[in-house]
Structure 1
Amino acid sequence: MTDGFDLAAHASAMRAAGWWQDKTFDDLLEAAIARSPDKRAVVAYRKDRGFDRPARVMTYAELGDAVAQAAGSLRALGVGPGDIVGLMLPNWWEFVVAAFAVCRIGAVPNPLMHIFRERELRFMLGFAGTRAILIPKGFRGHDFPAMIDRLKPELPALEHVIVVDDDGPRSFDRLIMNSGAAPVPADRGTPADPGEMAILMYTSGTTGEPKGVMHCFNTQVACVTALGNRFGLTADDVHFAVAPFGHMTGYTAMMVQAIHCGGTLVLQDIWEPEAGVDIMVREGATHMAAATPFLSDICTVIAHGGPVPGLRTFLCGGAQIPPVVIERARDMMKLGVSSLWGMSESLAGSLTEPERAQEKSATTDGRAVEGVELLIADENLTPLPQGQTGRLWFRGAQQFLGYYKRPGLDGRGPEGWFDTGDLAYMDPEGYIRINGRSKDIVIRGGENIPVVEIESILYRHPRVTDAAVVGYPDKRMGERACAFLVLADDGPFTMDDLRAWMEASGAARQYWPEAVEVIKTMPRNASGKIQKFLLKEQAARHAAG
């Protein structure tokens, strides 16, 4: 029970409805191997090996063998059911092998973004009691072994540090792939019950306080099944994965999705747009899931004479998609871009189907996917009229199990509704539009400022490439609004410029931001969501003394 939420009853209902299939990752992998053992499963590109050719290509049979060997090696190290294993690797083939191997022996993978440093890892590894961690020897100029060695005295549970690309005693090759331990095939594995925790993923921290989100095999398989059905994905699809595996978009919507479909997973570890487009064309990529900046970059490459990839479907989440980007993708690639709303706790809550993408993706964040219910209501769960903004509540087959070591803190009631913290409204066809965050709302003089609408107006300025509006304290008005802008050029952008644009837009004067900051890049988390708590800290300097 969690705040009145009965997880056992929820699980029973999801199974009865057919949304929970009780399949493990081994079931997905073994099915793919049985269908096409010689088919390419993973094609991995690494910048340090040159993007002109793959660093590693694995068939499904080879992937299966590698997972069995890795599982045997981890078991020989003493890693077993319930142990937390940190996966702090870029999008390399070693991540894929390790993730499936960890699951095979009943341990719990904890994907970690490779951008994390001591401050984040001290909490995350310590809180989870992480037993083992896989890290690169170096990536983007950072020395990961030295960082973990500095932290290790503070992490008594951390027994094993396994280093990819190392040639010493802690090397991945020596400890995992060539340990001499007996392989563990799927029929000798001990995976978690499909309804128990099978991944620990920390929230991405737009509010500054990450929590450990627990998902099981059933919730993840429900996610990829729903997405696959709406996109019409088959074994013929080639999935281009540049969204990091340290986040749910990369981990579930790309890595797990590709294996679930029995398709080919193509990896690029560092996003370089020109190289990425070349790889997509070379490998025949048909499906991609990533944030808006990736799609914008692809369009820019094509606009400058680059080749046109044959993408058939594109899942775009993390932030609203500017209409101009959707139009460019349609005109340049004949590609319908599908908007998505999701979060670590809900996985994929809503999605615009490809056939409605041109019509709906610029103005909505999709409609509920299979096995999911969405509700717009007030804080007491009283439904609100169509078109009215309220809290977005979520429940269904992809709902998380709870927060790790924090029972009772997930805010679910007896009916299972989860308060997402997002504000949204719903149109007559059931498509939702995220209209802000309940914690990010700016209240000026007792009036709510429509933050998302103001951001959209600013985004349309020809010099603005990114925009965010946050509040800062004011003794008289309670709050005032500050606009943070990223520009396409190096020129100034003054309050006079902002006022002129807002006046031309026709927006009510009381909604105009009263401060403006020009910044080089917008602080975003791995899913592309703007970390507004950081902007709020910066905006606070505009507050009167």
Structure 2
Amino acid sequence: MVNGMHIHEERKAHYYERGHWQTRTVYETFLKAVQSNPTQVAVIDPYRSITYEQLRTFSTEIANGFLVKGLKKGDVVSVQLPNWIEYVAIYLACTKIGVIFTPIPVNATAKEVANMFTISRPALHISARHFRKKAYEPMLNEVAHSVKLPDVYLLEQEGESVQDRRFLPFHLLPVDKNMDAPDVHADDHLVILFTSGTESLPKGVVHTHNTVLFGEKAMQKALHITEDDRVFMASPLSHATGFLHAVNLPLITGATSVLMDHFQGEKAVRVIERQKCTFSMGAATFVHDILKAIQQQGNPGALSTLRFFLCGGAPIPRHLVDEAKENGFRLLSVYGASESPPHAISCLHDSEEWVSQTDGQVLEGIDAKVVGDDRKSLATDEIGELATRGPNVFIGYYNDPSLTRQYLDERGWYYSGDLGTLDSDRYVRVVGRKKDMIIRGGQNISPVEVENLLLQHASIKEVALVGVPDERMGEKACAFITLNPNGTFTYEMMVTYLEEQNVAKYKWPEYIELVPELARTASGKIQKFRLLEQWKTKIV
């Protein structure tokens, strides 16, 4: 047991007995794909491509460099890189020698990076020197004011050079010496995934080789992913979505990962079309922008190779599901968390109506239940907190055993904080977060219910319902709304619309705020606590 984290021995035996867990590590699984088709293109980023055999060589060199530097099994390497090939190679190097890989979002601030360093205590850090408008040398100097920096390597792009002598260029990592790799086991710590911070400061979620491999193999089976597939990924690889489904899933399948380091709808359409991508995953906002670009280009057949696009993190508006189908691909729901990824997904045969009404069916091998405040199971279709237990569930929060005990019980159940229902066919419906639930004068208002209704209005592009403090009622609801082009929406229009939808009056938002955009994480999730901060600032 390390840092309060452990694998429940009874569950461990059960997972091995069922074949859910095996002795093969991520790197060994990757090598199997290399041996099967060494010349297959493994990764394509905006600048180049690399085959499976070339990726094996590159990652081996980096692993040797880490060992020469003195890194040991169980040490932490943090990485703050865009969606580039080097990110994938560094990850594989870590898996080869038992170093814990810790991705950090490229847009994380100095304060956020310092917090992540404090939690993970990396022995070595690798980042870009510069990406888009962000320079990382001055940011890291700012981090150094609050925490001790590990050894830092900066990845330079053409024409760049590292200026600060405390930092080393990545190309100077000593890679030309063959080193003996330590023994790595499938139950060893693989990665620390920082949560996306939709509520508060990120938490360091720890997964093993086995928890990651089970989840990705379950998704591969459910979606019929093969070595012929090409996944398009614009979500950051630092987030669970990108890390799991654009790095691990293709690498263990022998498929190809097509990476985009900065999302733009028109550019995404061109990349998907040119690279013949077969599926993707990300926030519904990505789909909205892609469909808008197709419409502007007048090219409805542009995505003829795309089979489906998985959306998670927020409800999928029905009109978006229909528009995607009109353009030749399907939208599917996926539900999970960094702690339990993925544990529900739409079936390929589900109807469009069902996709927009549910968040997927619980994957085979994963247990799910809905519980009340006492954590006792509730009846089918009754709203409560969603909990899961399975071979995909994390083993704890890094360096935080007390937080681990809050969310992960001694029987292996993870309590998500999400409110929802579970039907007799194990389909999940998420209705909101426990912390998001608005309590207005003692009556509970589910934000998701009202948001879904408002999203059907022709003028509304996006909406987030937030509880704002009220002296008399405790809380009132405020709808933060972004509009479609040429759309108009007023409070009076909202009242008329909700009356027509027969929505109970206590559920109507008392306020609306029309905003140019909603505060989001790098992966596209809406940050309601940021919207509440905006409200409080405005009131003051």
Task: Tell me the distance in 2 between the aligned counterparts of 1:206 and 1:66.
Answer: 35
When residues 159 and 326 of structure 1 are mapped into structure 2, their CA distance, relative to the original with a 3 A threshold, is same
Residue 109 of structure 1 deviates from its aligned partner by 0.9
Q: Distance in 1 between matches of 2:254 and 2:322?
A: 31
Distance 1:12 1:537 in 2: 47
Contact residue 391 and residue 424 of structure 1 kept, 8 A: yes
Contact 2:5 2:397 (8 Å CA) reproduced: no
In the alignment, which of 464, 477, 497 is matched to residue 460 of structure 2?
464
Tell me, in whole angstroms, the C-alpha distance in 1 between the residues paired with 2:461 and 2:241.
23
Checking the alignment, whether the CA contact within 8 Å between 2:461 and 2:484 is kept in structure 1 is yes
Aligned to 1:201: 193
* Aligned residue number for residue 498 of structure 2: 502
- How big is the shift at 1:157? 5.1
Residue of 65, 71, 75 corresponding to 2:63: 71
1:6 Cα deviation after fit: 6.1
Find the aligned partners of 2:311 and 2:293 in 1 and give their Cα distance. Answer: 18
1:322 aligns with 2:317: yes
Letter in 1 for 2:308: T
What is residue 438 of structure 1 aligned with on the other side? 434
Structure 1 residues 506-525: aligned runs within 5 Å: 506-525=502-521
Counterpart of 1:28 in structure 2 is: 29
Mark the runs of 5 or more structure 1 residues left unpaired by the alignment. Answer: 46-54
Q: TM-score w.r.t. structure 1 length?
A: 0.92
Change in CA separation of 1:324 and 1:95 when aligned onto 2, cut-off 3 Å: same
Is 1:174 the counterpart of 2:163 in the alignment? no
Please name the residue that 1:13 is paired with: 14
- In structure 1, the partner of 2:396 is 402
**Deviation sequence 1:109-136 (CA, Å, 0-9, x none):** 1111101011101111122212211111
Structure-2-length-normalised TM-score:
0.93
Q: How does 1:25-64 map to 2 (within 5 A)?
A: 25-45=26-46, 55-64=47-56
Partner Cα separation in structure 2 for residue 363 and residue 491 of structure 1: 25
What is the one-letter code of the residue matched to 1:487?
A: L
Give the direction of change, closer, same or farther, for the CA distance of 1:382–1:153 in structure 2 (3 Å limit): closer
Task: Give the AA of the match of 1:35.
Answer: S
2:421 is matched with 425
Q: Does the Cα contact within 8 Å between 1:339 and 1:352 map onto a contact in 2?
A: yes
> Are the aligned partners of 2:458 and 2:487 in contact in 1 as well (CA < 8 Å)?
no
Q: Secondary structure at the match of 1:236?
A: coil
Question: What is the 5 A alignment of 1:139-154?
Answer: 139-154=131-146
Task: Kindly indicate whether the alpha-carbon contact (under 8 Å) linking 1:499 and 1:512 is maintained by their aligned counterparts in 2.
Answer: yes
Counterpart contact for 1:482–1:514, Cα < 8 Å:
yes
Matched, 1:486 2:478: no
Which of residues 300, 303, 315 is equivalent to 1:308?
303
C-alpha contact (below 8 Å) 1:195/1:216 kept by paired residues: yes
- Distance in structure 1 (CA, Å) of the matches to 2:6 and 2:386: 18
1:227 to 2:219 alignment: yes
Deviations 1:360-399 (A, max 9, x none): 2100000111221110121223222222211111110111
3-state SS, counterpart of residue 13 of structure 1:
helix
Give the Å deviation of 1:3. 10
> Secondary structure at the residue paired with 1:522?
coil
Q: Distance in 1 between matches of 2:401 and 2:14?
A: 21
Segments ≥4 residues shifted beyond 3 Å: 1-6, 166-173, 489-494, 539-543
User: Which segment drifts farther, 354-363 or 365-374?
Assistant: 354-363
- Matched residues in 2 for 1:485 and 1:95: separation? 36
Q: Aligned partners of 2:74 and 2:377: how far apart in 1?
A: 40
Mapped pair 1:261 → 2:257: no
Equivalent residue number for residue 51 of structure 1: none
- Could you say what secondary structure the match of 1:476 adopts? coil
Q: Is the 8 A contact 1:4 1:414 kept in 2?
A: no
Partner AA of 2:176 in structure 1: A
Aligned with 1:90 (options 82, 85, 103)? 82
> Equivalents in 1 of 2:25, 2:107: separation in Å?
29
Partner Cα separation in structure 2 for residue 183 and residue 269 of structure 1: 32
Distance, in Å, in 1 between the alignment partners of 2:509 and 2:188 is 47
Aligned residue identity for 1:33: V
Q: Is 1:91–1:245's contact at 8 Å kept on the other side of the alignment?
A: yes
Please give the secondary structure, in 2, of the residue aligned with 1:340.
strand
Residue 339 of structure 1 contacts residue 357 of structure 1 at CA under 8 Å; is this kept in 2?
A: no
Residues 515 and 542, structure 1, Cα contact 8 Å, conserved in 2: no
Structure 1 pair 68–337 and aligned structure 2 pair: CA distance change class (3 A): same
- Which residue of the partner structure matches residue 529 of structure 2? 533
Q: CA RMSD in A?
A: 2.2
Q: How far does residue 213 in structure 1 lie from its aligned partner after superposition?
A: 0.5
Rounded to whole Å, the distance in 2 between the matches of 1:115 and 1:4 is 29
Equivalent residue letter for 1:38: T
Once the two structures are TM-superposed, the CA of residue 274 in structure 1 deviates from its matched residue by 1.6
**C-alpha distance in 1 between matches for 2:201 and 2:331:** 31
CA distance in 1, matches of 2:423, 2:475: 30
Instruction: State the alpha-carbon separation in 1 of the partners of residues 485 and 273 from structure 2.
Output: 31
Residue 48 of structure 1 corresponds to which residue in structure 2? Answer: none
Mapped contact 1:336–1:355 kept (Cα < 8 A): no
Q: Deviations over 1:266-291 (max 9, x none)?
A: 11111122222111111111121111
Q: Percent identity?
A: 30
Amino acid at match of 2:460: V
Superposed CA deviations along residues 8-49 of structure 1, whole A, max 9, x for unmatched, are 33222211221112321211221111001111111111xxxx
1:351 to 345, 348, 367: 345
Deviations 1:480-517 (A, max 9, x none): 11111111247764322222222222211111010111
**Residue identity opposite 1:20 in structure 2:** W
Question: Are 2:318 and 2:356, in contact at CA under 8 Å, matched by a contact in 1?
Answer: yes
8 Å contact kept, 1:71–1:183? no
Kindly indicate whether the alpha-carbon contact (under 8 Å) linking 2:153 and 2:170 is maintained by their aligned counterparts in 1: no
Residue 367 of structure 2 aligns with an amino acid whose one-letter code is E
2:359 to 362, 365, 370: 365
User: Which segment is superposed worse, 472-481 or 534-543?
Assistant: 534-543
Correspondent of 1:105 among 77, 81, 97: 97
